Chains A and B, each alone.
Chain A
Amino acid sequence: MLAGLVIPTAGTVTINGTDLVAANAEFRSQIGYLPEDPPLYREMTVSEFLLYVGQLKGRSEAAVVAELPRVLETCQLAHVQHRVIQELSHGYRKRVGIAQAIIHRPQLVILDEPISGLDPKQIVEMRQVVRALGKQCTVLISSHILAEISETCDRILVLNGGRIVAQGQESELAAAAHTAGTRLTLQIRADRSLVEGALRSVSGVQKWDVAEEPGGLLKLHVAMDSDQRESLVAALVTAGVGVRRMVEDESELESIFLGLTQGASA
């Protein structure tokens, strides 16, 4: 819908005051869109294709010709601009897909799963392209690969059931996701039965997980509904458990996402 492909049956979509329904053509000229499978006319060369799409989006031929070098450079396509798209690898086709989305200098570029199907080298190159793009216009990346979002995005919107349940920088989302609890990882030396007894005695401990480590050590993950780490350590030490290390878990985007969406569903 944001790309102007579907008309909303309720509500409004605007970009810089331009409404999707009231000024559909103007709205669409401000959007660049790359679906998961790049829409490409494979019999055309890269530059022919970009010239065509630029004009299709409402720019004059002269304006697109002037814009072409910048786009080719941003997407690292200059050396293949005269090649037929059919002959390009999947990674290059993705880049041509991004190039067609930005050739008309849109205000907003929407990239849907931009790294799906790419090999590790192509993923690194694609990140460079997306970061370069982010300096020129607003880029909205839609992806289920949260590690990629973490790598490339400044601001994150979490959608659940079609609604935004959280938005902000990753650290802000982490804070929002974990305000109701604390997750700790401990390295201990003790018998398992002693550990379980000690954990049961601490109020607020919701769940835990114990895994063996080399050297007779145990790795203990604890989730608490509030920050009671002093009580936890005291209970463990009292029970004869040797506490060697305790750290608060860093919030990974996956766990943040799960925390936010589960909370919203409940």
Chain B
Amino acid sequence: MRGILLVARRDFAAYVNTIWGWLIIAVALFLDGVLFHALALTSTAQYSADVLSKFFFNSGGVALGVGVVVTMRLFAEERQTGTMVLLESSPLSDRQLVLGKYLSAMMFMTLLHVLTAYMPAMIFVNGKVGIEQIAVGYLGIMLMSSAGVAIGTWASSVSRNQILAAVLGGMLVLLFVLCHWLAKVSDAPFKELFANMAFYAKQFAPFEDGRVNTENVFYFLSVTFGFLTLATQALTARRWE
């Protein structure tokens, strides 16, 4: 655990001690704010719960995008700058390295989500929503972020440069987001498969409305576990090259 935290702490510091990390946060907050103003705070009367639901919908999408940008550097940048050798020659296991990197990205995502809290707080103060819906919405965003970050971590672990990692990770995340479209144009058995894989329409939607389903939690955790395992295998395979 000590090794995981060590890697996570350094990588998180690398985000927040450089302009790069704050630039990502600034752009993400700008997008969140614009979308919140344009789509959630419309001139027509809405229930506070619907406004909050739209906020989580928008913020979840931004979080997935940020996840791809944040994770593209995790391993690919280390390879580009030659520092990967420090990690590979250390006594830490490949799993510890992957978990450390994943944790650093999740710490960054948590920071981002904390900074978006003023928007639900405004709805809470000026409207009529339960704190539970806010908490569940953020739980959903964190779970979906976790899945997105895990996908990005894997993409970075198999890529030689950051652009390739971003493209690969971005395409995969997009695939998971667009699965409900694929479900509409597919026949059985893929129709049901794609429908169940859809990040938004199937898995994240209940969280937006303040509902926690075990199957949705299990799904995001499974995707996270699966891609982190693949990332670990990718690192291990390189030792046998």
Residues of A whose CB lies within 8 Å of any CB of B are 3-7, 9, 24-26, 28-29, 31, 33, 35, 37-43, 52-53, 55-58, 100
Contact = CB atoms under 8 A, between A and B. Distances in A.
A56 B90 contact: yes
A106 to B, nearest CB: 10
Given A40-B83, A43-B17, A56-B6, A5 B88 contact: yes
A50 to B, nearest CB: 12
B10 interface: yes
Nearest to A40: B83
A40 B88 CA distance: 14
A22 B109 CA distance: 38
B170 to A, nearest CB: 26
A4 B86 CA distance: 11
A6 B90 contact: no
Contacts, number: 61
B237 to A, nearest CB: 10
Given A41-B10, A43-B18, A5 B91 contact: no
Contact of A39 (B6, B85, B91): B85
A58 B91 contact: yes
Nearest to B240: A7
Main secondary structure of the interface of A (DSSP, over half): loop
A170 to B, nearest CB: 30
Nearest to B11: A41
A28 B89 contact: yes
A56 B86 contact: yes
Listed from nearest, the 8 A-B pairs whose CB atoms lie closest are A25-B91, A39-B83, A29-B91, A56-B90, A58-B91, A39-B86, A28-B91, A39-B85
A56 B9 CA distance: 12
B109 to A, nearest CB: 21
A129 to B, nearest CB: 20
Q: Chain B interface: which size bin?
A: 20 to 34
B88 A100 contact: no
Contacts of A55: 2, 6
B241 interface: yes
B240 A41 contact: no
A39 B82 contact: yes
Given A55-B6, A56-B6, A56-B86, 12 more contacts: A25-B91, A28-B90, A33-B89, A39-B81, A39-B82, A39-B84, A39-B85, A43-B17, A43-B18, A52-B10, A56-B87, A57-B91
Contact of A33 (B7, B82, B85): B85
Given A41-B83, A52-B6, A55-B6, A3 B18 contact: no
A33 B85 CA distance: 9
A72 to B, nearest CB: 19
8 contacts: A6-B241, A29-B91, A37-B82, A38-B82, A41-B14, A43-B18, A56-B86, A57-B91
A4 B14 contact: no
Contacts of A29: 91
B85 A5 contact: yes
Contacts of B2: 55
B92 interface: yes
